[in-house]
Structure 1
Amino acid sequence: MHIRVTLDGRPVDAALNDSPAARDLATLLSLTVGLKDFHGTERIGDPPRKLTTDGAPEPSAPRAGDIAYYTPWGNLALFYQDGPSASSDLLILGHIDAAADQLARAERITIESAS
């Protein structure tokens, strides 16, 4: 599912996958979330509510550019470095086509429906 994403006011190409959690995130759009650094690998921020974890796909290790959802905390994560090994607590929601340094500096993300 194609989405419109801006990082600190700059548009970037992005898409969500077809997982139940990604479709649930799409119901919250248009959404703006403040971001902060976490462990030198990702920027994290809190959506207005927790997303569904029903029907979660098999875990996969996050890669730079991935948009993910960390289920224990209910936060979104934008990886600017490849992440740790696969975990059932981390659901990959989609991917942002942006340079790692742009993702690493991002203070705010806005996600909107492309339709």
Structure 2
Amino acid sequence: MPTEISTKQAESMNINIKVKDKVVTATLIDSKTTQDFISLLPLTLTLEDYARTEKISYLPKRLSTKDAPPGSDPAVGDIAYYSPWGNLAMYYSDSGYANGLVILGKIDGGIEAFNVPGSVKVTIELVQSQ
């Protein structure tokens, strides 16, 4: 069932990404695109390798890019939404600037869980604050 968030929750939005037997945490930034992404959680996706740089998966619906920058230059550990394709991307290697790329947040640690050959099945859940 989708999660509704309040303005207070949006100040600190953390997610857990379950990869096999490991849980990787990430911190999301507060934006309209991120709030739209959170409304889809919990979400189970199969991330496919793309260009030996990132793991990507198409989302069940396109996210809002209202007030988003025209593009971004992702860093290792960034979680992003690529609006031209409608996919989520998790960067495990450095990449260059891309038009339509909206950074959603950053993986706190354990990015090596994504730097593996082939696809990776993940479950992404919002961390409920205590």
If the length of structure 1 is used for normalisation, what is the TM-score? 0.89
Deviant stretches of 4+, over 4 Å:
none
The 10-residue stretch of structure 1 (98-107 or 6-15) with the greater mean CA deviation from structure 2: 98-107
Q: 2:31 aligns with which of 19, 24, 34?
A: 19
CA contact (8 A) 1:81 1:100 kept: no
Counterpart Cα distance in 1 of 2:78 and 2:33: 14
Q: What's the CA shift for 1:15?
A: 1.3
Could you tell me which residue of structure 2 aligns to residue 110 of structure 1? 123
Please give the alpha-carbon distance, in whole angstroms, between the structure 1 residues aligned to 2:94 and 2:47. 18
What fraction of aligned residue pairs are identical, expressed as a percent?
41
CA displacement, residues 72-94 of structure 1 (integer Å, 9 cap, x when unaligned): 11000010011112x33100001
Of the structure 1 ranges 51-60 and 24-33, higher mean CA displacement relative to structure 2 is found in 51-60
Classify the secondary structure of the residue corresponding to 1:108.
strand
Report matched runs for 1:1-115 at 5 Å.
1-57=13-69, 59-85=71-97, 87-105=98-116, 107-115=120-128
Q: Under a length normalisation based on structure 2, what TM-score does the superposition of the two structures give?
A: 0.80
Contact 2:33 2:65 in 1 (8 A): yes
Gaps of 5+ in 1: none
Task: Assess if the C-alpha contact under 8 Å between 2:72 and 2:100 holds in 1.
Answer: no
> Aligned pair count?
114
RMSD over equivalenced CA pairs, Å? 1.6
Name which one, 1 or 2, has greater alpha-carbon Rg. 2
AA aligned opposite 1:69: Y
The answer to whether the Cα contact below 8 Å between 2:70 and 2:101 also exists between their aligned partners in 1 is no
